[in-house]
Amino acid sequence: MNTWEVRYKLEKSGKYFFRRIKAVYQHEANAIFDADMPNAIRCGSAKKSS
């Protein structure tokens, strides 16, 4: 299990936020984020967090 960091922003806000997600693969982390926060705009793909 790896920890992935996803950068996103909310529709009306210009500010960027980060969220950490535990998943085995990068595409799983992206899918989990998209399911948990459908209104957020994901900026790029998840990256491994150390």
Distance CA 12, CA 3 (A): 28
Question: Quick one: which H or E segment has residue 9?
Answer: strand 2-9
Q: How many CB atoms lie within 10 A of CB 1?
A: 5
pLDDT at site 41: 94
pLDDT at site 50: 72
5-21 pLDDT, tens digit each: 999 999 887 899 999 99
Non-local CB neighbours of 13 within 8 Å, separated by 6+ positions: none
Question: Quick one: which H or E segment has residue 12?
Answer: none
- What does the pLDDT average to over 22-47? 96
pTM for the predicted model, two decimal places: 0.87
